[in-house]
Structure 1
Amino acid sequence: MYCENQSSRNSMPVKHSLVLDGEKGELVKASERTGKKIGVAETKTIAALKSHSEAERRRRERINAHLVTLRGLVPNNEKAGAIVVYLSYVATFRDYNSEFLAIYDDSSAARIFACAEMDKATLLAEVICQVKQLRAAARQASEGLHIPMDADEVQVEILEHNGGDGSFLLRASLCCDYRPDLLSNIRQAINDLDIQVLKSEISTLGGRVKTVFLVTTGEGDNGRAAGLEVLVGSVRAALSTILDKVCASAEYAQELFSPRKRQRVS
């Protein structure tokens, strides 16, 4: 729809297109409607940029918090921190003084700049190396002791095997997270097997459980070599089934109680 607007007698008529404004329910000039749409679009763009900036700020805060935690795991943290500060000063000086490289251009300078740029990667590598060393030291210190470790595992080994009368002695162990039905599942698995439990020990540490027991059978066909291998496999399979149930229960609990991120629909 068009309308003519003639402001003076000598001026030319100006045509304006009119459109229906759904919000007001009346006819308005197209220029006003277009300007309103542009204003709404700019507002949405500004809100999206602000939201993105806030999300980026929170992400950097989380990364910095993780880096602080990682630095606390590395020994001699004060010396490492001083080196990092020194490298940052060197890198800053290099940026502001182009003649610095010409004066100090050798392999040591290149290594310093590489370390300054690879600080996060170097820190992560040091932490991984430190964790591996601590894990190896913990395993070495716990040899012969029934201490639960951080890895889920099932072990079955033959301690004694008398080929004459067919008797044998097995040691089986299960290390995993504690669950209320863990011990009952172990007892049910042992009852289903044709074995006799001579001794059992249970140790706990921080929500972790390690169960070690000695089993044997009397004289008979089970003591033969072929039957013994089958029984070892049966014990390992029974304990592995229990471990699978524990892992599945832990994953279900994590999905149930952990907050889920909302899916973004564009």
Structure 2
Amino acid sequence: MDKATLLGEVVRQVKELKKAATEASKGVLVPVGDDEVIVETCNDEATGTYCFKASICCDYRPQLLTDLRQALDALPIKMVKAEISTLGSRLRKDFVFTSCRTTANGDDAESRQYLACSVRRALNSVLEKASISPEYLPYSTFPKKRQRISYFDSSSSSS
């Protein structure tokens, strides 16, 4: 077998393994490699409320859970369920929340969409906060090196 054929076979097998791993992990909270925010509506069988599912997947950092809490507390929602999972330095947090319907004129679709967009904006703001703050950037960007310090003053050296 030549190198090109061997490489093609390896790529095909990796794709199959990735597809099998995706199928096997359905229903299991596994953080993915990319930062993502997902907000979707649920079946709201109880009258008078909206029901939503939301998830955020990102690198774990200090104050992440506090930032999530502050962002979601500003919205008119009630948390029903929250699950969290980690894999290495990645974190995935899934939420289920409800909100009371506030429109009496029957414009449910528009108010539901507005609330879903508000949740998505709040979660995206948490992701953006981590990406623009230099203290949360990966160590490869700012490696920790000791600063060189000279204990001798070069200007006062004798000739």
- Aligned pairs (5 A) from 1:1-266: 83=1, 115=2, 119=3, 125-161=8-44, 165-221=47-103, 224-248=108-132, 251=137, 253-257=139-143
Stretches of structure 2 that go unaligned for 5 or more consecutive residues are 146-159
Of the structure 1 ranges 131-140 and 195-204, higher mean CA displacement relative to structure 2 is found in 131-140
Task: Give the match's secondary structure for 2:33.
Answer: coil
Residues 80 and 98 of structure 2 are in contact (CA less than 8 Å); yes or no, is this contact kept in structure 1? yes
Relative distance call for 1:142 and 1:155 in structure 2 (3 A) is same
Amino acid at match of 1:154: V
Deviation at residue 142 of structure 1 after TM alignment = 1.3
Residues 197 and 213 of structure 1 are in contact (CA less than 8 Å); yes or no, is this contact kept in structure 2? yes
Relative distance call for 1:135 and 1:238 in structure 2 (3 A) is farther
Using CA pairs below 8 Å that are at least 6 residues apart, which structure has the higher relative contact order?
2
1:107-159 deviation line (CA, Å, top 9, x unaligned) = xxxxxxxx4xxx3x555544444433332222211111112222322111111
Q: CA RMSD in A?
A: 2.8
Deviation at residue 227 of structure 1 after TM alignment = 0.6
User: How many positions carry a matched residue from both structures?
Assistant: 141
Residues 50 and 101 of structure 2 are in contact (CA less than 8 Å); yes or no, is this contact kept in structure 1? no
Deviation at residue 232 of structure 1 after TM alignment = 0.5
Task: Give the match's secondary structure for 1:188.
Answer: helix
1:23-74 deviation line (CA, Å, top 9, x unaligned) = xxxxxxxxxxxxxxxxxxxxxxxxxxxxxxxxxxxxxxxxxxxxxxxxxxxx
Task: Give the match's secondary structure for 1:168.
Answer: strand
Relative distance call for 1:129 and 1:242 in structure 2 (3 A) is farther
The structure with more radius of gyration: 1
Deviation at residue 179 of structure 1 after TM alignment = 0.7
Question: Sequence identity, in percent?
Answer: 40
Residues 53 and 95 of structure 2 are in contact (CA less than 8 Å); yes or no, is this contact kept in structure 1? yes
Residues 166 and 224 of structure 1 are in contact (CA less than 8 Å); yes or no, is this contact kept in structure 2? no
Residues 101 and 108 of structure 2 are in contact (CA less than 8 Å); yes or no, is this contact kept in structure 1? no
Residues 156 and 170 of structure 1 are in contact (CA less than 8 Å); yes or no, is this contact kept in structure 2? yes
* Bigger fraction of residues in helix: 1
1:157-215 deviation line (CA, Å, top 9, x unaligned) = 111235x9441211101111111121111101111111110111111111211101111
Relative distance call for 1:242 and 1:225 in structure 2 (3 A) is same
TM-score under structure 1 length normalisation = 0.46
CA distance in 1, matches of 2:129, 2:14: 28
Amino acid at match of 1:148: P
Stretches of structure 1 that go unaligned for 5 or more consecutive residues are 1-82, 84-114, 260-266
